[in-house]
Amino acid sequence: MRIGKRILVLDDDASVLGALERVLKVHGFNAEVFDTVEGFLGSARPSDASCLVLDIDLDGTSGIELMRQLKDDGVSVPVIFITGAGNESTRQAALEVGAVAYLHKPFPSDALIDVIEKVT
């Protein structure tokens, strides 16, 4: 059952963030969205989340580096990386840090929902 599953989303693009929040809520997930790394680190509690949807190219920070930091801090949460400018080396780096999926923007909302349902 999806109700109550807490999905965190971190993306610095407001339009993408709003669209992802709407899609997740329509599908019954409890979506918490963040547009800055600082806001995310200040209040997200990722260790309590069912899943994290994380943009690779954040303003001034790499989502991959953020994931490494979280892992170093002992946080274990399934991560779906999203990107609008990815390439094979970026995809490989995302997988090496433990991504459960790598989606290139724009992606169909069903692709995201399918991955979330598989990992939560």
C-alpha–C-alpha distance, residues 70 and 3, integer Å: 26
| Average of per-residue pLDDT values in the chain | 94
> Measuring CA to CA, how many Å separate 72 from each of 7, 60, 81?
21, 20, 18
Answer whether 62's CB lies under 8 Å from 18's CB. Answer: no
E-strand spans in the chain?
6-10, 30-34, 51-55, 57-58, 61-62, 79-83, 101-104
For residue 62, what are the β-bridge partners? Answer: 57
Q: Where are the domains of the chain?
A: 6-119
C-alpha–C-alpha distance, residues 65 and 114, integer Å: 25
pLDDT band, very low/low/confident/very high, at 2 (cuts 50, 70, 90): low
Top CATH class of 6-119 equals alpha beta
Burial of 55 (0-12, 13-18, 19+ CB in 10 A): buried
pLDDT digits (tens, 9 = 90+) for 4-49: 799 999 999 999 999 999 999 999 999 999 999 999 999 999 999 9
State pTM to two decimals.
0.94
Closest among 117, 1, 118, 115 to 54, alpha carbons compared: 115
Two tokens, residue 75: 């946080």
Residue 47 DSSP code? G
pLDDT digits (tens, 9 = 90+) for 55-92: 999 988 899 999 999 999 999 999 999 999 878 999 99
Report pLDDT for 86.
77
